[in-house]
Structure 1
Amino acid sequence: MKPLLEIRDVSLSYHTTAGETPALSHLTFNLMPGEFLAVVGPSGCGKSTLLNLICGLLTAEEGSVLMNDTPPSPGDPRIGYMLQKDHLLEWRTIYRNVILGLEIRGELTHEKLNYIEHMLCTYGLDKFRDAHPSQLSGGMRQRAALIRTLALKPELLLLDEPFSALDYQTRLNVSDDIGRIMKKENKPAILVTHDISEAISMADRIIVLTRRPATVARIITIDLELADRTPLASRNAPKFKSYFNLIWKELNQHA
C-alpha cells in the first residue's frame, strides 16, 4: 500500500538576526491511509514545527514533504488542522461555527450541509446547534471544533495538543469521543502530545523525537491486542504499562 504522507530527510532551521536555530534534522517517516500517528518528544523539540511543515505553512530547507506525491501548500484543502484552542467565535451559534469553513470556501452545498447535520446528531450536538460557545463545556466545544474541521472533508487531520486546555476527566472523555469519531470517519491523523498515555491510547504508531534539533529516535508500533480498541479501553490493556515504560525510557534517553 502506498503511503498517504511521506516525510523524507526533512531539516529546518529558524533564522533571526541573532543567528540560526536548528529545529528539525533529517526526519524520515510515512503515514499510511487510515493510520493514526502520535508524535512525542521533549518540550520545545519541534513537534508543532513538524505539523506546520506538513500543512504547508513552513517549507523544509532540506528533504521533502509529499502528500500523495504532491507537496502541501498554505491552506491546503486536503489537510485539516485542530489547535490547542477551539477558536469558536462567540458571536456565532454552534451551527454557524461548524459551517464557517464551508462558508469561507463557498461550499455550502446540500450534500455537505447534510453531512454536518448527520455529525451534529451522531455526536450529540444537535440540541446545542443554536447555543453559543460560552454555553458549552470545554469537551463539547472541542467536539464542535472537530466537526467544523471534518465538515471540509480533509484527507488528513493534524491535531496539535487539542485536549491540553481541558481538565483531566474531561480530557479523558473527549479523547475517547474524538478517538471514536476518527475511527468511525476513517480519517488518518497525526497527533502531537506531551501525554504518553494519550499517545498510546489513541495511536497505531508513535514517533519519539529527540531534543532539538529533533531527529527520529524511534518509531513504536502499538498493538494492545484488543478486539474493540477505544482510547479508554486501551488504558486498561495489559500491555499498556509496558509501552508507557518503553516510551518513557526513550524520552529520558533523548531529553
Structure 2
Amino acid sequence: MNPVLKVRDVCLSYHTLSGETPALSHISFDLMPGEFLSIVGPSGCGKSTLLNLIAGLLTPEHGSITLGDRPVSSGSAAVGYMLQKDHLLEWRSIYKNILLGLEIRKELTPEKLAHAEALLQTYGLDRFRDARPSQLSGGMRQRAALIRTLVLEPELLLLDEPFSALDYQTRLNVSDDIGKILKSSGKPAILVTHDISEAISMADRVLILSARPATVRKIIDIDLDISDRTPLSSRNAPDFKKYFNIIWKELNENA
C-alpha cells in the first residue's frame, strides 16, 4: 500500500528584519490511506506551520510534500483544513454555512447537494439546518464545520486543535463524535494537539516534534488492543497510560 502523503526532508525558516528563525528542520514522514496521525510537540515548535505546509499555504525552503503523486498546492480541494475556530457565518443558516465551500467553488451540483443532505442526516444536524450558528452549542458548531469540510470530499483532512476552545466535557464528546465520523468516512487525517491524551485516543500513530527548530523525535504506533475502538473507549484501555508516559517523557526530556 502506497502512502497518501509523503513529507520528505522538509525545512523552513522565517525571515524578518531582525534575522532568520529556523522553524522546521528535515521533517520526514508518511501518512497511509485511512490513517489518523496526531502531532504533538512543545508550544511554538512549528506544529501549525507544518500543517500550513501540508495544506500548500506555505512552501518549504527544502524538501518536498506530495499528496498522491502531486505536490501540494495552495487552494487545492484535495486538502480540507479544520481550524480552532469554526468560522461559521452568523448571517447564514447552518445549511447555508455547510454549502459555502461548494458555492465558492461553483460546485452546487445535484450530486453535491445530495451529499450535503446525507451528511446533515447522518451526523444529526438536519433538524438544525435553518438555525443560526449562535443558536448551536460549541460542539454542534464544530460538527457543522466538519461537515462543511467533508462535503468538499477532500483526500486529506487537517485538524489544527479544533477542540481547544471547548470546555473539557464538550471537548471529550466532540472529539469522540468527530473521531467516529472520520473513521466511518475512511478519510486520512492529521491532528495537531497539545493534549497528549487526545493525541493517543484518536490516533493510529503519534508523531512527536522537538522544540524549535522542530525535528521528528519519534513516531509511536498506538496499539490499544480493544474492540470497537473509539476516542472515548481508548482512554480506558490498559495500555493507554503506558503510551501517555512514553510521550510525556519524550516531550520533557530536553524541556
TM-score, scaled relative to structure 2:
0.99
**Cα drift, residue 232 of structure 1:** 0.3
Question: Is the counterpart of residue 153 in structure 1 residue 153 in structure 2?
Answer: yes
> Secondary structure of 2:171's partner?
helix
Write the deviation string for residues 159-180 of structure 1: whole angstroms up to 9, x where unpaired.
0000000000000000000000
Per-residue deviation at 1:88? 0.0
Deviations 1:25-72 (A, max 9, x none): 000100001100000000000000000000111111111111112111
After superposition, the CA RMSD in angstroms is 0.6
Measure the CA separation in 1 of the matches of 2:82 and 2:116. 17
- Alignment-derived partner of residue 110 in structure 1: 110
The letter of the residue matching 2:67 is M
Q: Once the 2 structures are TM-superposed, how far is the Cα of residue 188 of structure 1 from its aligned partner?
A: 0.2
Over residues 109-152 of structure 1, what are the superposed CA-to-partner deviations in whole Å (9 max), with x where a residue is unaligned?
11111111111111110110000000000000000000000000
Q: Distance in 2 between matches of 1:108 and 1:117?
A: 12
**SS of match in other structure, 2:201:** helix
Q: Deviations over 1:162-203 (max 9, x none)?
A: 000000000000000000000011110000000000000000
Separation of aligned partners in 2, 1:211 and 1:170: 30
Matched residue, 2:120? 120
Q: Secondary structure at the match of 1:33?
A: coil
Structure 2 unmatched runs, 5+: none
Tell me how far apart the structure 2 counterparts of residues 141 and 83 of structure 1 sit (CA, whole Å).
12
Structure 1 counterpart of 2:58 = 58
1:139 corresponds in structure 2 to 139
Structure-1 separation of matches of 2:164 and 2:252: 22
Q: Which consecutive aligned stretches of 4+ in structure 1 deviate over 3 angstroms post-superposition?
A: none
Aligned match of 1:2: 2
Distance 1:147 1:252 in 2: 36
Cα displacement (A) at 1:16: 0.4
- Which residue of structure 2 aligns with residue 82 of structure 1? 82
Structure 2 residue 235 is the aligned partner of structure 1 residue 235: yes
1:254 CA drift (Å): 3.8
Give aligned pairs, total: 255
1:210 aligns with: 210
Q: Which runs of 5+ in 1 are unaligned?
A: none
Write the distance in 1 (CA, Å) between the matches of 2:174 and 2:37: 18
Offset of residue 227 of structure 1: 1.3
The residue matched to 2:71 in structure 1 has which SS?
coil
